Amino acid sequence: MPTVSSRGQKVIASPIRKFFPFIQEAEKKGIKVYKLNTGDPDLSVPASFFGEIRNYKNKNLPYAPSSGIREHITAWQKYYKQFGVELEPENIIPTVGCAEAIYLALLAVADVGDEILVFEPLYVSYKSFAIMAGIKLVPITLKAKDNFTLPATEFIESKITSRTKAIVVINPDNPTGKLWNDIELASVLNIARKHNLFVIADETYREIRFKGIPTCLLANKIAKENIILVDSVSKRFSMPGVRIGCVVSYNKEIMDTILKFAQARLSVGTLEQYALIPLLENSKKYTEPIRLEYKKRSEIVFQMLSEIKDVFVARPLGAFYINATLPVNSAEEFVKFMIKDFSLNNETIIISPMSDFYITEGLGINEVRIAYVLPVEKLKCSIDILSHGLKAYKNKNL
Ligand SMILES: Cc1ncc(COP(=O)(O)O)c(C=O)c1O
């Protein structure tokens, strides 16, 4: 029998999606499942987007240029200008969501066996992409009890080797809800400049922040050419299904390299690039109500979770996730219990155990991530179910 590659064997199945069969089983039994496990926004797509799709007049649907449709790129330029970032068209390449932007950025900066510094817990796709690219991720652990604050610069520097190529900054962060402060960002940029490293800045959740105003790392004057921004419309306009993101950098060599990669995969959706133009040009009109909605939800979920005995939560300041440390030995077992064996008034919840979000073995075993992608009333029911579920789980294990 032929065998699959070792990278194929090493990549883990999505920790977020692996509970799908259990969800289906629960639903077959007639149980309502509140889904708080995926970062799939429940909010409506701006209606004007579908109008733009309907208005497409061309009878053909040709490949777009690998470097992006000119008007679409102009719209991104306008979008970034509001954050003080002046770009030329060659500084931007559209990608299939931020996911592809991450993969292309990793491939552009590192060879097989090279290292990239990341902060854990970490958005899991980075782990899979690193395995696919043969890159080693070197984790620096951030702790909920310290509000996921960065360790001292010297500690971060102690992780740098001759093979280190880049540092990843996800701001606002999935899965922690962390918002990076200016000192932390400056620290990473200074390290990058001093050690000649790239900074891969993932700002998928830029506008979804509950403190201060949205920023873009590229507006920073330090280490400008070291920064590779990976971005997306998925969360800020509640449209992950549109699959459009981009890579942005002032570094010509990086952009030339990524363009060659992009040429190999031809292009991203033509129709979608056109339809997104008005949204990018007037982004605040769409992102501000979304931000306010998540802010409201974050406060309610934080408050309710904080009131549950022996549960520890760090207050989220951005994105739409909250981490909770639970009084259980295995969050994985608890999540399975909730979906397979527990319901309250015929309702239950699905949330994500956190251990797969870590690189260091053994971390996160009693932590969960809750994505607050449901309306407030449903979130309230969900946290109530969680609270009852914890009691039932404790009694079962007595
Ligand atoms: C931090 C982060 N980066 C990138 C992505 C991928 O986003 P996209 O839908 O644009 O591929 C996600 C999706 O959840 C994310 O949380």
Calculate how far, in angstroms, residue 125's C-alpha sits from the geometric centre of ligand 1.
8
Mutation choice for ligand 1 from 96, 125, 244, CB with most ligand atoms inside 8 A? 125
Mean per-residue pLDDT of the chain: 96
Ligand 1 centroid–CA 347 distance in Å is 29
Query: pLDDT tier at 367 (50, 70, 90 boundaries)?
Result: very high
- On the question of pLDDT at 15 being above 80, the answer is no
Per-residue pLDDT at 398 exceeds 80: no
Chain segment 191-207, per-residue pLDDT in tens: 999 999 999 999 999 99
Do 6-44+285-396 and 47-283 show the same overall fold?
A: no
Q: Between 396 and 338, where is the model more confident?
A: 338
* Domain at 47-283: CATH architecture: 3-Layer(aba) Sandwich (3.40)
- Residue 152 tokens, joined: 């001292």
pLDDT of residue 49 exceeding 90, the answer is: yes
pLDDT, average across residues 316-338: 97
Say whether pLDDT at 396 is over 90: no
How many residues does the structure list for the chain?
398
Give the per-residue pLDDT at 112: 98
- Cβ(68) – ligand 1 distance below 6 Å: no
Range in 6-20, 65-79, 262-276, 296-310 with the lowest mean pLDDT:
6-20
Is 169 a residue whose pLDDT tops 90?
yes
Q: Which helix (H) or strand (E) holds 324?
A: strand 321-325
Question: Which residue's CA is the nearest one to ligand 1's atom 16?
Answer: 174
How many A from CA of 302 to the centre of ligand 1?
23
Q: Which tokens sit at 364?
A: 């996160």
* pLDDT score at 233: 98
Residue with tokens 């060879």: 111
Q: Count Cα atoms within 13 angstroms, Cβ side, for 170.
A: 26
* Overall average pLDDT of the 32-41 stretch: 95
Question: What was the pLDDT predicted at 276?
Answer: 98
Residue from 174, 179, 204 whose mutation best tests the ligand 1 pocket (most atoms within 8 A of CB): 204
- CA nearest to 258, candidates 287, 228, 281, 231: 228
Nearest residue by C-alpha to atom 1 in ligand 1:
174
pLDDT tops 90 at residue 56: yes
- Whether residue 175 has its Cβ less than 6 Å from ligand 1: no
Q: Point out the ligand 1 atom lying closest to the alpha carbon of residue 233.
A: 10
At 181-240, the pLDDT tens digits run 999 999 999 999 999 999 999 999 999 999 999 999 999 988 999 999 999 999 999 999
Residue 37's nearest CA partner among 351, 340, 332 is 351
Under CATH, which architecture does the 6-44+285-396 domain have? Alpha-Beta Complex (3.90)
CB 121 within 8 A of CB 176: yes
**Mind listing the pLDDT tens digit for each residue in 277-323?**
999 999 999 999 999 999 999 999 999 999 999 999 999 999 999 99
Question: Is 80 exceeded by the pLDDT of residue 14?
Answer: no
Maximum CA extent, the chain: 67
Residue 62: pLDDT over 80 = yes
160 vs 167: CA distance, rounded Å: 10
Question: Which residue's CA lies nearest to atom 13 of ligand 1?
Answer: 39
321 lines ligand 1 (CB under 6 A): no
pLDDT at 221: 87
Check pLDDT > 80 for residue 6: yes
- What is the best residue among 122, 123, 373 to mutate for testing ligand 1's pocket, by most ligand atoms within 8 Å of CB? 123
| Count of Cβ atoms closer than 10 Å to residue 360 Cβ | 12
What does the pLDDT read at residue 328? 97
User: Could you tell me the two tokens for 179?
Assistant: 């918002």
Q: Which H or E run includes 353?
A: strand 352-353
CB distance 173 to ligand 1 below 6 Å = no
Q: Is the pLDDT of residue 17 over 80?
A: no
Tell me the C-alpha to C-alpha distance, in Å, between residue 358 and each of 41, 138, 152, 173: 23, 11, 20, 14
- % of the chain beyond a pLDDT of 70: 99
The residues spanned by each domain of the chain are 6-44+285-396, 47-283
